[in-house]
Amino acid sequence: MSDMPSAPSQRWLTIIGIGEDGPAGLGDEAKRLIAAASVVFGGRRHHELAAAIITGKRLTWESPFEKSVEAVVAHRGLPVVVLGSGDPFLYGVGATLSRRIGAEEMHVIPAPSSFSLAASRLGWPLQEVASVSLHGRPLDMIRPHLHHGRRIIALTSDGETPGQLAELLRVCGFGQSELHVLEALGGERERQRHARADRFDLAEIDPLNVCAIEVVAGQGARTIVFTPGLDDALFEHDGQITKQDVRAITLAALAPRHGELLWDIGAGSGSIGIEWMLADPSLRAIAIEQSSERAARIARNALAFGVPGLAIVEGTAPEALANLPEPDAIFVGGGGSEAGVLETALEALKRGGRLVANAVTLEMEAMLLSLHRQYGGTLTRIEIARAAPLGSMNGWRQAMPVTQWRYGKK
CATH 3.30.950.10 range(s) for the chain read 115-214
* Dihedral sign from CA coordinates of 267, 271, 276, 281: positive
Reported in sequence order, the residue ranges of 156-283 that DSSP labels E, i.e. its strands, are 178-183, 191-196, 209-214, 261-265
CATH 3.40.1010.10 range(s) for the chain read 8-111
Inform me whether the pLDDT recorded for 102 exceeds 50.
yes
pLDDT of residue 335: 66
| Cβ-defined contacts of 28-37 (< 8 Å, 24+) | 29/109, 30/109, 33/79, 33/81, 33/107, 33/109, 34/81, 34/83, 36/79, 37/79, 37/80, 37/81
Q: Residues for the chain: how many in total?
A: 410
**Topology of domain 8-111, CATH:** Cobalt-precorrin-4 Transmethylase; domain 1 (3.40.1010)
Cis peptide preceding 318, ω within 30 of 0: yes
Segment 373-382 mean pLDDT: 96
pTM: 0.90
CATH 3.40.50.150 range(s) for the chain read 232-408
pLDDT of residue 281: 95
pLDDT of residue 3: 44
pLDDT of residue 337: 73
Segment 366-380 mean pLDDT: 96
Inform me whether the pLDDT recorded for 5 exceeds 60.
no
Residue pLDDT, tens place only, 196-238? 999 999 999 999 999 999 999 999 999 999 999 999 999 999 9
Architecture of domain 115-214: 2-Layer Sandwich (3.30)
Which residue type occupies 276? W
Q: Under CATH, which number does the domain 232-408 receive?
A: 3.40.50.150
